[in-house]
Structures are given as structure tokens and as C-alpha cells.
A and B are shown apart, each in its own frame.
Chain A
Amino acid sequence: MSEIDSEVLESQTKSSAFRRRILGHQGVMIGAAIVLAAVLIALSAPFIAPHDPYYQDLLNRLVPPVWDSRGSWEHILGTDHLGRDYLSRLIYGARISLLIGVGAALISGLIGTVLGVAAGYFGGRVDMVVTFMITVRLSMPVVLVALAVVAIVGGSLQVVIMVLGFLLWDRFAVVMRSSTLQIRSMDYVAAAQAVGCSTTRILTTEIMPNVVNNLIVIATLEIAHAIILEAALSFLGLGVQPPLPSWGLMVSEGKDMMLFEPWLITIPGVALFLLVLAINLLGDGARDITAPENRN
């Protein structure tokens, strides 16, 4: 067999092995399916939502979901206290949740990774400064600071993303610092130095590829964390402002009628739960799949 053939074959078996590893991992499949569904729903919200999420139909207030004896197929998940279609609000709410989760995780991931990798790689003074910053950050209660900032600046989607992004970098920094410390002591980093690699090249080709699996796990945790925090802030009335359909806001608006119309809070609650669970499953599985030990 010629060399080219064997190369093609090798790359084929490599990618098929990778595919097999993904397909063989139940957690990833479930997580990916739910997250993918949420993303698709969020992207195509205007096309699949049966009603306008902002349209108030005061004659049809608090219609229960279709499985209730009083429900109808007109409003599959019922309507809220202002007569807005609950399913449509849920679908549009997925946009807000994903946007806030991913946006906050991107900002905090960037801050935390830069700080953590720098601290772990350079050590000494840099490490001292970063460790101090992490300590300061950890001593500030997230919800309290977020509440204060939102109360001063006023709540909006952008403000919530920024506030969460600037508050959630601590776990990124801690994990990136410790895993960089660990990788930095490996002989292949010393070998790269001895070979004459620049610091930038060492950081990008030797350190980063070996810490990125931890980064993925933390990123998914923080996406989930940000989604929950947004829901909590919105529940307290300090997150995104009505009438935007946020899942946290829906729980908040439904809480007055909780005893008589419990589905008002269970439906967005279950949606939150499923999305957060799926993101965590996906992150866990991504780490398992990309770990070099599994490559054979």
C-alpha cells in the first residue's frame, strides 16, 4: 500500500474512532441532544412560536396547559396572568438564557484564563497578584454585588451579561492556574524551552492544549451557573426587565399564583433544570472524550 493510502486510512480510522467515542458516551449524547434542541429552538423562535410572546389577551388569562381538563390546544402550555402564551414565552426565554449563559462564560472565561495561565506559568510576583485578585473576588458575594450594580446601573440584558462576566471568572482563574502549574513542571515544557521556543509558542502549543479540557468543563459549569444566576436576578426583579420573556422572570411572575396554578413555575423551572443539566452533561463528556488517555 502506498504511503498516501495508509495516511488516508489512518485519518479515517482516527475520525471514526473519535465518532465512536462520542456515540458511545451516553451523557454526551443526552446532553448534546438537549443543548442542540435548545439552541435550535432559540434560533428559530420567531418561526416556531405559536403566538407573539408579548401579546396580552386579558380575556384568556391563566389558561392551564393542555393536559389539564380546562386546557386547550390553542395555548399548549397555557397563558400567564396577562394572557400571554406560555409556550411562546418559554421559547423566546431560551434565547435570553443561552445568550446570558454563553456571553457571561465568554467574558469570564477570557479574564479567568488569561489571569490563571499567567499566574501558573510565570509564578512569582504575577502569581501573587493574581492569587490576591482571586481572593478579593471570592470574598465578594456574587448575588449581592450583582444586585448592587444592577440597582445602580439599571437592569438590562447587556448589564446582566457584563456583571456576570466580570463576577464569574474566579473558578476559571483557579482551575487554569493549578492546571498550568501542573503542566509547567512537565519535562516537555522544559524541552520546548531548551529547543528555543518563545514564551508565546510554549503557552499556545504546549500549555493551552493540555489545559483546554479543564477549560471546557469549567466553561460549561459557568454557563449553567450564569443561567441560574440570571434566573435568580430576574426572579428578584433585578435581572432582565419585563416584558422580556426570561425563564427566571416567568418563575418570578408566577410565584403569586403558585398555590393555585403551580404549572406557572414548574414549566420554566423544568426548562431551566433540563438546560443546566444538559450543559453539565455535555461538559463532563467533552472532558472524557478529549482526554488523551482515551486515544488509542
Chain B
Amino acid sequence: MAELMIDARDVTCSFTISRGMFRGKQQLKAVNGVDLTVERGEVLALVGESGCGKTTLAKMLLGLLPQTSGTVELCGQPINDVPRLELARTIQPIFQDPYSSLNPRKTIGSIIALPMKVQGIADQDSMRRRAEETMDMVGLPPRLYNAFPNQLSGGQRQRVAIARALVNRPQIVVCDEPTSALDVSVQSQILNLLNDLRDELNLTYIIISHNLAVVEHIATRVAVMYLGRIVEIADTDTLFKDPQHPYTRALLDSVLTPDPNMDIPNNQLGASYPNPIDPPTGCSFHPRCVNAMPRCATVAPNGKADGGHYVECHLYDDGAN
């Protein structure tokens, strides 16, 4: 059994939405009772539609958002007890948009050196040396040390963001759509870089993406999220070969092919994404599900784990038939 890096139990994050002065307040459960474990060296992909809570979950893991209930343990320690600087040394983010993740007023060098400065490394020379080492590792030429972000291309900027995340050698890296803002040609470079760095530095990744090709390429395990819940988790191969949850199947069916003779895929999802302030009763997916049964509308399904393959659907629920 490998070392558990992240152990989240029944994690919920809700936001209070005010609907105007006299109409009261409502809870929006962005993440609703998620159980998740990540082992050392794993690459866990979180996939799902926009608004399903992927980013909220990631922000909780990073300590940027407090969890409303449930516990998150990071390397066996509750995340709320980990001091800020230690948390920063353990887990680091890489954001989606490299144009907004770099402060336009700072040089590349000072952006990459910031994490070391915060950790109290006072020695200018060693800081600079380590920053340049890290730049070299992510494939940035040292002449960019004094450049400003607007002088860099999107791919270079993303490399800077990766360097900033890795300069203190964290153990876990949370990548929130690391490639979706980049050109296709640059996407694969960044993905390969992430893959190489994982081997080199023994990293654990959590990758948020809605690009299933990216997920298949890089992930070892995939968690499918829908409306704040994880509805299916499996190894990448298993999930792509044998998707069980109807939502996972719809997701996999909705991938566009490069063949122009094929039509735009019909994912059978029909109705639009439900309003998370007012989620459907029972199984939250039932209004859009092709396999919906009467009990789906009333009873929430229990999760069923078969080896490493977890699925939350009445089709596989023992009590269903």
C-alpha cells in the first residue's frame, strides 16, 4: 500500500447566496460530500462539466477555501492544522490561464523566487541559483530571468507558473486545467513536461480537466464529478474501457472526433445542467439520465466499490433490483 497523500472524507463546501434583502439566503453546495484518496505518485484527474465543483474541491485541497464540513488530511495531518508555510511547501497549484497567473509588474525571476522568499530563504545568491535551476528544469532559458510576463508566449508563461509551483519541491501539485488556455501544439509540450517532472521529482498530481484526451494521456486514475459529487472513480484504463455510470458514458461519447464525416456526437444528455442552488431530488443526475428509473427520482444511490472502481448509480446498486 502506497503512502496516502490526500485523504478527504465527506467534504462539503457550501456558499451562501443572498437573493436580495428580503428573500432570505440559500445554500449552494458546490462540493457535496466527496470522499477522495490520492496515493503518492498517482495522477488523479478530476473531470466533469463546468460548475460541477472541480475547482472548488481543488481550492479546498490547497487551503484556499475552508471546507464547510468533513475533513481533508494531507499526508496524515488535518489540513486545517497544517501551518500556512508548511502547507505551501507540500501542495502547490498550477492555474489554467497563464495570462492571469503571473503578476504583470514582476520579473520572471522574482515571480519564481517569491515562494522561496516567503519561506524565509534570505540568501540572494542561493535563491537566484535555485530559481535558475528550476527555470532550466522546466525548459526556460536563463535570459528570461529579468523579463516581464508580457514578453513571454503562453507556453513560456505556463512554464513559469510550473517553475513557481515547483521551486520549493512540493509533493503534490494541483493543476487546474493546465493546458486548456494554450495552443494545441504547446499543450502536448506542457503535458510531457509535467510527466517528466513527475518522474524526476516523485510528484503527485491532481489534474482538473474537461479535455478527456489530456486525461487519458496523463492520468493514472480518473474521478468523474457531477453536481458536487464524485459519481465514478476508476483507473484510467478501466474507466475509458468500461465506463459504468451513465454520465461517464455520456461524457466519453461527447468527445469530438477529427473525422469530418462523423456528426457532432449526441450525448443524450438533453436537458441542461441543473441549478446547483436547487438540485434534483434523489440521484442528482436523473433528469438527464437515459437509464433513469422511478426510484432514481426519490432515493439517492449508494456508492458501490468494486476493487478500485467506485460508482454511484442505482444501476449497480444492490438494492435496485
* Residue positions of A touching B, CB distance < 8 A: 6-7, 10, 186-188, 190-197, 201, 205-206, 209-210, 292-293, 295-296
- Are B95 and A293 in contact, with the CB atoms below 8 A? no
Cβ B95 vs Cβ A190 within 8 A = yes
Say whether A191 contacts B164, CB under 8 Å.
yes
Chain B positions within 8 Å of A, measured between CB atoms, are 59, 62-64, 84-85, 87-89, 91-93, 95-97, 100-106, 114-115, 118-119, 143, 146, 148, 150-151, 161, 164
The 9 closest A-B pairs by CB, nearest first: A196-B88, A187-B101, A187-B95, A292-B104, A209-B105, A195-B115, A188-B103, A187-B100, A196-B85
A192 with B146, Cβ < 8 A, contacts A209-B103, A210-B103 known: no
Tell me if A195 and B105 are in contact (CB < 8 A). Answer: no
Give chain A nearest CB distance to B152 CB in angstroms: 12
In the bound complex, do residue A191 and residue B119 qualify as a contact, i.e. CB atoms below 8 Å apart?
no
A264 to B57, CA, bound (A): 71
With contacts defined as CB atoms under 8 Å apart, how many contacts are there between chain A and chain B in the complex? 71
In the complex, A90→B270 CA distance in Å? 77
Please indicate the chain A residues that have their CB under 8 angstroms from the CB of B118 in the complex: 195-197, 201
Residues of chain B lying within 8 A (CB to CB) of residue A210: 103-105
CB distance from A141 to the nearest CB of B (A): 28
Partner of B103, one of A6, A196, A201, A206: A206
Contacting residues, chain A, for B63 (C-beta < 8 A): 194
In the bound assembly, the distance between CA atoms of A209 and B103 in angstroms comes to: 9
**How far apart are the CA atoms of A292 and B84 in the complex, in Å?**
31
Is there an interface contact between B150 and A194, defined as CB atoms closer than 8 Å? no
Are the C-beta atoms of A196 and B101 separated by less than 8 Å?
no
Do the beta carbons of B85 and A194 come within 8 Å of each other?
Answer: no
Structural contact, A196 and B100, CB atoms closer than 8 A: no
Is the pair B150, A196 in contact by a Cβ cutoff of 8 Å? no
Which of A7, A192, A209, A295 is within 8 Å of B114, CB to CB?
A192
**A196 and B95: CB pair below 8 A?**
no
A190-B105 contact in complex given A195-B114, A196-B88, C-beta closer than 8 Å? no
Q: Are B93 and A190 in contact (CB under 8 A)?
A: yes
Give the distance in Å from the alpha carbon of A164 to the alpha carbon of B97 in the complex. Answer: 43
What separation, in Å, do the CA atoms of A27 and B280 have in the docked complex? Answer: 60
State whether B93 touches A194 (Cβ < 8 A). Answer: yes
B228 to nearest A CB, angstroms? 21
The CA of A205 and the CA of B104, in the complex, are separated in Å by: 11
A196 CB contact (under 8 Å) in B87, B102, B161: B87
Whether A195 lies near B102 (C-beta < 8 A) is: no
Query: Smallest CB–CB gap between A13 and chain B, Å?
Result: 11
Contacts of B151 in A (CB 8 A): 295-296
Task: Tell me the complex Cα distance, A206–B88, Å.
Answer: 17
Residues of A within 8 A of B59 (CB): 190
From the candidates A190, A206, A209, name the one contacting B64 in the complex (CB within 8 A).
A190
Contacts of B148 in A (CB 8 A): 292, 295
Q: Is the CB of A295 within 8 A of B150?
A: yes
Query: A274 CA to B100 CA in the complex, in Å?
Result: 40
- The answer to whether A196 touches B115, judged by C-beta atoms less than 8 angstroms apart, is yes
Q: B146 and A196: CB pair below 8 A?
A: no
B110 to chain A, nearest CB (A): 9
CB-CB under 8 A from A197, the residues of chain B are: 114, 118
A293 touches B100 (CB 8 A): no
Tell me, in angstroms, the Cα distance from A186 to B102 when the chains sit together.
9
Q: Across the interface, which residues of B come within 8 angstroms of A296, CB to CB?
A: 150-151
B102–A188 touching, CB < 8 Å: yes
What's the Cα separation between A209 and B63 when bound, in Å? 25
